[in-house]
Amino acid sequence: MLITRRTALGLFAATLARAADRLPANKNVKWALGSNLWNYFPPVPFTDILDVMKDTGFIGVRVTQFPQILQKYKITQEQLRAEVDKRGLHVITISFNGPAYDAAQREQYLANAKIAMTFLKSFGANMLVVFSPNRTNLSEANFKTMCEGFNQLGETAGEMGFRAGLHNHMGQMVQTQEEVDRCMSMTNPKLFWFSPDVAHLYLAGCDPAANLDKYSKRLMMMDYKDAKKTDPKDFRNEIFDLGDGDIDFPACHRVLKKIRYKGWICVDLDTARKGPRASYEHCDQYIVSKLEPIYK
């Protein structure tokens, strides 16, 4: 059969349309990924990460190991902004950590947060995801000091037009349900928000959907990644692509629909068994087929 140029162009357009249908819609829920995953693979240019994002429909990136990441990838802030803009992508936040439990280091802690937010502001971002310190520092006194630091950080963020929010994590001072609840109760809801990781909630014995519902008024953004309780010695072995673990994401998404959530979800995978591109292609198919029919 002879295929005319017009027919070929029509087939090509139809192929592109079908491909677009298989990518996340990025309407009410906007999808991002974390740059940290690439630390577990041979080095690539940062533009390769951006290309995976564009091709798989994850239009935002959470930057990790800032500011060292710029040196690692040999890219300047201005070059990064140009490459992001070229692809219609977004830098949405930074994984921020520091000795919040130590009042003597508070001034430097806040100064570092200002540097991170100044960087983010140049990309139009307005959120700072805040990790708690390493669990080896856990004590009642340190926990109280940490929460006081979070309140000050939240106040500083507000002055810069930002929101700062807690990110729970295995091996850190806010890990268990009791610690999540205590941190939320000891921080000012007008100053400090919640940016939960549902996989780390699940691995710590928490109910992810119940936490999204309980703290719905403080949700800043969140991480979706799947998990199975298989290897308590290394949580990375317990992380899976969306749909390949035991987390009830439809229940989580029904909470987002109920509260009419409009914001970012970061699929910040800690491992990718077949490589980053394959994992994010798998995840976007789960999003399109299982989650967006609930809420997108």
What is the DSSP annotation of 5-68? Answer: HHHHHHHHHHHHHHHHHTS---SSEEEEEEGGGGGGS----HHHHHHHHHHHT--EEEE-STTH
Q: pLDDT below 50 — which residues of the chain?
A: 1-2, 7-20
pTM of the model: 0.91
Distance CA 240, CA 295 (A): 22
**What is the structure's pLDDT at 207?**
98
Task: For residue 1, tell me if it sits in a domain.
Answer: no
Q: Whole domain around residue 37: which residue ranges? A: 24-291
3-state secondary structure 231-262: CCCCHHHHEECCCCCCCCHHHHHHHHHHHCCC
Domain count, the chain: 1
Where residue 146 sits, what CATH number does that domain have? 3.20.20.150
**What is the structure's pLDDT at 1?**
44
Task: For residue 58, tell me if it sits in a domain.
Answer: yes
Q: In what order do the strands lie in the sheet with 127-131?
A: 192-194, 163-167, 127-131, 90-96, 60-63, 29-34, 263-267, 222-223
**What is the structure's pLDDT at 43?**
94
Contacts of 270 (CB under 8 A, 6+ apart): 36, 37, 199, 225, 235, 236, 239
**What is the structure's pLDDT at 164?**
98
Task: For residue 2, tell me if it sits in a domain.
Answer: no
Task: For residue 8, tell me if it sits in a domain.
Answer: no
**What is the structure's pLDDT at 17?**
39
Q: Are strands 29-34 and 60-63 parallel, antiparallel or unpaired?
A: parallel
Task: For residue 3, tell me if it sits in a domain.
Answer: no
Task: For residue 14, tell me if it sits in a domain.
Answer: no
**What is the structure's pLDDT at 18?**
40
**What is the structure's pLDDT at 145?**
98
